[in-house]
Amino acid sequence: MMATAQRHVPQLKRDFAALRKDFPALQQLVHGKPLAYLDNAASSQSPVAVLDAMAEQQRRNHSNVHRGVHQLSERSTAAFEGAREKVRRFINASSVAEVVFTRGTTESINLVAASFGQGLKSGDEVLITALEHHSNIVPWQLLCERSGARLVVAPILDDGSLDLAAFDALLGARTKIVAVAHVSNALGTVNPVADLIDKAHRVGAVVLVDGAQAVPHTRVDVQALDCDFYAFSGHKMFGPTGTGVLYGKRALLEAMPPYQGGGDMILTVSFERSTYNALPYKFEAGTPNITGVVGLGAAVDYLEGIDFASVAAHEHALLERASQRVLREVEGARLIGTAPNKASVLSFVVDGIHAHDLGTIVDSEGVAIRTGHHCAMPVMERFGVAATARASFAFYNNDDDVDRLIVGLLKAVEIFRG
């Protein structure tokens, strides 16, 4: 009997100490001390593979895409569309037609609000949560102002998790769009998005998921989630800024009018009328960020080689270590956001010390954290604080980064309290 052929499964990388060496930015000194980069929720660093791919595109292939018949244009087009296929495979979209390149999560959400949102009318409702980033609030406010629809907000509990009973009560026949973060950027709360999507679909609502904080940390399967739209950014997932993706179900994208007009989103133009290009190009007006998209594709390649189960365990251990040490050793420290299901985001305040002062002092120790309202001012208002300090971890962080954060915080306490 012949042996059954075995499908080759590549060995996924789990040695995060070795992977750290792939990131040039992490090898530098800041204020004479090794950099401990803990601002990954704002923007993660890029590995050499991404930097090299972008440099190669600029050095050898720099040319516009799709319309040129010369060699450089053909190479650029192949790299650009190759990145689209990489993204399709990465999120398990059913077709490259469902992968629209944008400048980031913000533009992706605005695209849906401006285009799909044209179907809303007075009396309709858009349901969001109190966890949302401004980018998943303001576009819906603008849509409601234009259409007469009403923005409805599901509250959060004292631990920073979504009030599911309130969400269920607010969801109803008037709900046309549900827009929800997969992971909160300000608190790290992981929402039960699959359950929320199922509930929304039962009342006929369309669901957009802000996945900016999820894609770098967990495998996302848009078909398994059954979301209608999923938005994320390149610079959160070890790629370049100015790049992003809007996934949308093909039937919805087909029915939506163009978001912007201009080159590449058209088939024909006359002064009487224009006809529009096929998906996904109907939503990609103008010359795209070609080099950035090539870099995004390289970031996807890099992430495809990493074991995400190990990533989750590693990042959770760092979060636990940091949370326990902050509470135990930093006098007056209080965590903001203690939901039982959290990503690797630690937000906290220290009594008597402004978050910006904390950030400045830990920076003097070579530790990069984020301070402020994190583009989530309603979250800050909910917890009665003007700002928090936020340390956010990626797979390339380690225990030493956590320990040096504590050293910086203790220095701040000593300066302000003697």
Domains observed in the chain? 16-42+307-417 (3.90.1150.10), 51-304 (3.40.640.10)
Is 375 noted as a catalytic residue in this protein?
Answer: yes
Give the residue-averaged pLDDT of 100-128. 98
- pLDDT tens track for 42-81: 999 999 999 999 999 999 999 999 988 999 999 999 999 9
**Helices and strands, number each (H, E), in the chain:** 14, 17
Annotated active-site residue in 55, 375, 407, 410? 375
pLDDT of residue 68: 85
Contacts of 212 (CB under 8 A, 6+ apart): 104, 105, 133, 181, 185, 231, 232, 233, 236
Express each pLDDT in 116-166 by its tens digit. Answer: 999 999 999 999 999 999 999 999 999 999 999 999 999 999 999 999 999
Element (H, E) at 77: helix 71-91
Residue 265: how many other CB atoms lie within 10 Å: 20
Q: 77: which 2 tokens?
A: 């087009």
For residues 346-354, average pLDDT: 97
- Model confidence at 93, in pLDDT bands (50, 70, 90)? very high
Question: Is the pLDDT assigned to residue 418 strictly greater than 90?
Answer: no
pLDDT band with cut points at 50, 70 and 90 for residue 11: low
Query: Residue 9: its pLDDT value, please?
Result: 40
Q: Which pLDDT value is given to residue 264? A: 87
For residue 228, what are its two tokens? 């209608």
Cβ contacts of 21 within 8 Å, gap of 6 or more: 27
| pLDDT recorded at residue 6 | 40
Least confident range of 39-43, 176-180, 203-207, 260-264: 260-264
| pTM of the shown model | 0.95
pLDDT-above-70 percentage for the chain: 97
Task: Name residue 253's amino acid.
Answer: L
Other C-beta atoms lying within 10 Å of the C-beta of residue 257: 12
Percent of the chain past pLDDT 90, that is, above it, reads 94
Quickly list DSSP for 112-169: HHHHGGGG--TT-EEEEETT--GGGTHHHHHHHHHH--EEEEE-B-TTS-B-HHHHHH
Is pLDDT of 217 > 60?
yes
Place 7 in a pLDDT band, splitting at 50, 70 and 90: very low
Q: Kindly give, in sequence order, each residue whose CB lies less than 8 Å from that of residue 321, ignoring residues fewer than 6 positions away.
A: 399, 402
Q: Is the pLDDT of residue 12 over 90?
A: no
Mapped onto helix, strand or coil, the DSSP state of residue 10 is coil
Confidence at 2, pLDDT banded by 50, 70, 90 = very low
Whether residue 1 is predicted with pLDDT greater than 80 in this model: the reply is no
CB 183 within 8 A of CB 189: yes
What the block records as the tokens of 338 is 């203690």
Q: How many beta carbons lie within 10 A of that of residue 328, not counting itself?
A: 9
Q: Is the pLDDT of residue 351 over 50?
A: yes
Complete DSSP assignment for 301-369: HHHHTB-HHHHHHHHHHHHHHHHHHHHHHSTTEEES---SSB-SEEEEEETTB-HHHHHHHHHTTTEE-
Radius of gyration of the chain (CA): 22
pLDDT at residue 246, as a whole number: 98
In the three-class reduction of DSSP (H, G, I as helix; E, B as strand; rest coil), residue 286 is classed as coil
pLDDT in tens, 18-41: 999 999 999 999 999 999 999 999
pLDDT of the residue at 218: 95
